[in-house]
Amino acid sequence: MSWRRVESSADRERAAALAGEASAEAALAAALPMDDPAERATDLTAAAFFDVDNTMMMGASMFHFARGLAARDYFNTSALAGFVWQQLKFRVGGREDPQSVKAMREQALSFVAGRSVAELISLGEEIYDELMVDRIWTGTQALAQKHLDAGQRVWLVTATPVELAQIIARRLGLTGALGTVAESTDSIYTGRLVGDLLHGKAKAQAVRALAAKEGLNLRRCTAYSDSANDVPMLSVVGNAVAVNPDSGLRETARRRGWEVRDFRTGRKAAKIGVPSVLGAGVLAGAVAAGMAYRRRHA
């Protein structure tokens, strides 16, 4: 499907459904096999679904990945600055602006077009160790572990490329990940997506698709997120938990009686949770950090 033609609401719904189905198939293909000793699932009709950015990990996983690519001269710092700006609009806007989502989609595809799947996975492993491992929220990780200890499977659900999401899930000892699926031919990315970014309604579609394939009872499942954009996903399960919520999700959680967990404190909470502090300063700091990282590793 050509994304230049995805303009109507019906087209976007179909794209979200396709993205969800593709993500569920990719997640199950890469998940731990049932006979793997690490697969401890005994409660087979319940599962937990965790958003990644600002829920499981401080900041945006795709931005950390972009920083790692910039340090390896995959693109220049002005391109990184453009990506940061799109991330800020995407995260802080509070609403799904189709033009912003389109720009994010094109930005994400520009990172992988013409690259091999194996290369992305190898880079993802390296960049996780360099820039992500120390950014995991220990409180959220503990919540995930409780579900594992209860014999439930635990899945990440994120707009990040599914290959990177699966690396994060594996490193955390989780069952697997639902993420954005980029089309590849002969293991080379084409620069097109299968469906759309796994965002908003597409996340809900992915959870439904996985539940149907795995025989899950969604009323017994739990979902965790920080963002009002994930209300569709939070609404399809029986137990919704707002983690480090933005103002929109905090208000929705209050109205619907959802549990709220906030692992942010003081200055860190202000940086991550309050849109008013995000802007030119964060953009400049992020780009400077990418440049400094490149210099240190030159």
Residues labelled catalytic: 51, 53
**How many other C-beta atoms lie within 10 A of the C-beta of residue 284?**
12
Instruction: Look at residues 144, 137, 177 and name the one whose alpha carbon lies nearest to residue 159.
Output: 177
d(CA 188, CA 208): 29
Residues 6+ apart with CB under 8 A from 217: 45, 46, 211
Tokens for 171?
A: 């490193």
Spatial contact of 120 and 163, defined as CB atoms under 8 Å apart: yes
Find the largest Cα–Cα distance for the chain: 51
Spatial contact of 41 and 153, defined as CB atoms under 8 Å apart: yes
Spatial contact of 59 and 244, defined as CB atoms under 8 Å apart: no
Q: What are phi and psi of 261, to 5 degrees?
A: -125, 130
Beta-ladder partners of 161: 180
Instruction: Look at residues 77, 57, 55, 58 and name the one whose alpha carbon lies nearest to residue 66.
Output: 77
Tokens for 61?
A: 């996983």
Burial 117-139 (b: 16+ CB within 10 A, else e): beebeebbeebbeebbeeebbee
Instruction: Look at residues 15, 50, 11, 19 and name the one whose alpha carbon lies nearest to residue 209.
Output: 19
Q: Which amino acid is it at 70?
A: A
Spatial contact of 22 and 206, defined as CB atoms under 8 Å apart: no
